[in-house]
Chains A and B, each alone.
Chain A
Amino acid sequence: GAGVSQSPSNKVTEKGKDVELRCDPISGHTALYWYRQSLGQGLEFLIYFQGNSAPDKSGLPSDRFSAERTGGSVSTLTIQRTQQEDSAVYLCASSLQPGLAGEDTQYFGPGTRLTVL
């Protein structure tokens, strides 16, 4: 596709429910990232996938958060037992070739706004 796409654009859920957020990266991009943007914490790195390597999960805030990337393309971020502090905009990004100058710019999707009531 032309850019990174994410769905849904908005998600309202009740505390304690599980949610799944989807990201479709730019075709051909090998790396995929999830970030979270909230008023209190700004933009935070969550998780990074590169090719077939094990993901870098160092930014996940708790074990309620998990993500997978199937077939090296689409990714799903799952939040279990949502809490009100999980409310934020979840942004996905992809890059063509991390570490390669000129090819490693991260392009961001429109985000999913998650509201936990």
Chain B
Amino acid sequence: ELKVEQNPLFLSMQEGKNYTIYCNYSTTSDRLYWYRQDPGKSLESLFVLLSNGAVKQEGRLMASLDTKARLSTLHITAAVHDLSATYFCAVDLAAQKLVFGQGTRLTINP
């Protein structure tokens, strides 16, 4: 059974700081996704990582994938308040069924 674990589950940080969210998964997969969810809203796709060593960046967010370690990271650089949200990683189990992590609730304080 594929398990996906994120840490931390809660993260409170100040604007301007850097931090990293970790996503570990238990079995081999060739696709990993990061999503953002604002309170009361649906999931917004951020990144798709398809291969070992893949790195993608959008604004202050950068995601990477290490398939050998079964680890993905989402790095936040110089955080701003607008990035406050819950972030989910999801791993493709098979035929596109996604298994999600528990989510990391990120709060960025002015």
Q: Which 9 A-B pairs have the closest CB atoms?
A: A43-B100, A98-B96, A108-B43, A108-B42, A110-B42, A45-B97, A105-B45, A101-B50, A111-B42
- Does A65 interact with chain B (Cβ within 8 Å)? no
| Residues in B lying within 8 Å of A, measured CB to CB | 31, 33, 35, 41-45, 48, 50, 88, 90, 93, 95-103
Write the residues of chain A forming the contact surface with B, with a CB cutoff of 8 angstroms: 31, 33, 35, 42-45, 48, 50, 56, 58-59, 91, 93, 95, 98-99, 101-102, 104-111
| B80 CB, min distance to chain A CBs, angstroms | 24
Across the interface, do A59 and B31 meet the contact criterion of CB distance under 8 Å? Answer: no
Give the CA-CA distance A31 to B97 in the complex, in Å. 11
Q: A33-B96, A98-B96 are in contact. Are A91 and B102 (CB under 8 A)?
A: no
CA gap between A21 and B42 in the complex, in Å:
16
* A106 with B41: CB separation less than 8 A: no
For the residues of B in contact with A, the DSSP-based class is strand
Contact yes or no, A105 B95, CB < 8 A: no
Instruction: Decide: A91 and B43 in contact? CB cutoff 8 A.
Output: yes
Pairwise interchain contact A48-B96, C-beta atoms closer than 8 A? yes
Whether A45 and B98, one on each chain, are in contact in the complex, defined by CB atoms closer than 8 angstroms, is yes
Q: Which of A31, A42, A108 contacts B96 (CB 8 A)?
A: A31
Known: A42-B100, A42-B102. A56 touches B95 (CB 8 A): yes
- Complex: A106 Cα to B34 Cα, angstroms: 11
Q: Tell me which residues across on chain A come within 8 A of B98, comparing CB atoms.
A: 33, 35, 43, 45, 106
**A95 — nearest CB in chain B belongs to which residue?**
B96
Contact between chains at A109 and B42 (CB < 8 Å)? yes
Q: State the Cβ distance, A12 to closest chain B Cβ, in Å.
A: 16
Q: Can you give 22 contacting A-B residue pairs, CB < 8 Å?
A: A31-B96, A33-B98, A42-B103, A43-B88, A43-B90, A43-B100, A45-B98, A48-B95, A50-B96, A56-B95, A59-B97, A91-B42, A95-B96, A98-B96, A104-B48, A104-B96, A106-B98, A108-B42, A108-B43, A108-B45, A110-B41, A110-B42
Partner of A105, one of B33, B93, B97, B103: B33
